[in-house]
Amino acid sequence: MNRAIKRIFDIVLSFAGIILSGWLWALIWIAIIFEDGSPAVITQKRVGKNGILFSSLKFRSMRKASLREDVNLQALESDPRVTRVGRFMRKVALDEIPQLLNILTGDMSFVGPRALLPREIEVHSAPCKIEICQIPGYKRRITVQPGLTGIAQIFAHRDLLRRHKFKYDLLYIKKMNFLLDLYLVIVSFIVTFQGTWERRSAKLSFLRR
């Protein structure tokens, strides 16, 4: 895929998204502080292209106590750490709106593998937990910019093992092109309007119909 075309697409779409969603930022900010205090927006170190860390912006969807956790654990469906406001935001992906700034500045792309936390732990790897950097496919998936959405984010169940999610990411890297990016963005908007991001098995029911 032509990098220049992908970058132009990211800049135009992220800039438009920031302008159109400005009023939402204020409402979400107020709702988060009203339920669980500040901060409303958090920064997290995430793994970017070629393994370079960048500061990812997100509206806080978990309780403040989770910010002090020493081990990075992937959020589960119905995770008790998630606030009521956070649960709603996750259904429609509003917690990730601030990442439009990350896309605009070039740390992320609209479409690509999900940006992972450094030293994130695979919580479903019984009998022992392992770091995700040890999972096959990890090194290949960080050769491209992480994305707000992608094949894994749309088609994979939230609690699917990382080694299986990485297969979706590697498929995207192999097939990536402008039309695929456009398709995945459109599907993501539909899932957002349906409010089914947290119901992975049901979020693509409109495709089956």
Residue recorded with tokens 């106590």: 65
Tally the domains of the chain: 1
209 domain residue, yes or no: no
Q: What is the mean pLDDT of the chain?
A: 84
**pTM: predicted TM-score of the whole model, two decimal places:** 0.83
- d(CA 161, CA 70) in angstroms, rounded, equals 22
In a domain, 145, yes or no: yes
Residue 139 lies in a domain: yes
Q: In the numeric block, which tokens belong to residue 70?
A: 């020493």
In a domain, 149, yes or no: yes
* Residue 208 included in any domain: no
Has residue 150 got a pLDDT over 80?
Answer: yes
Beta strand 130-131 pairing with 53-59: unpaired
For the four alpha carbons of 104, 107, 111 and 117, in that order, the dihedral sign comes to negative
61 touches 85 (CB < 8 A): yes
Report yes or no on 207 lying in a domain.
no
Q: Is residue 206 part of a domain?
A: no
Q: Does 102 fall in a domain?
A: yes
Q: Which domain range does residue 62 map to?
A: 3-199
More confident of the two residues 138 and 37: 138
193-206 tens-digit pLDDT = 876 666 655 555 54
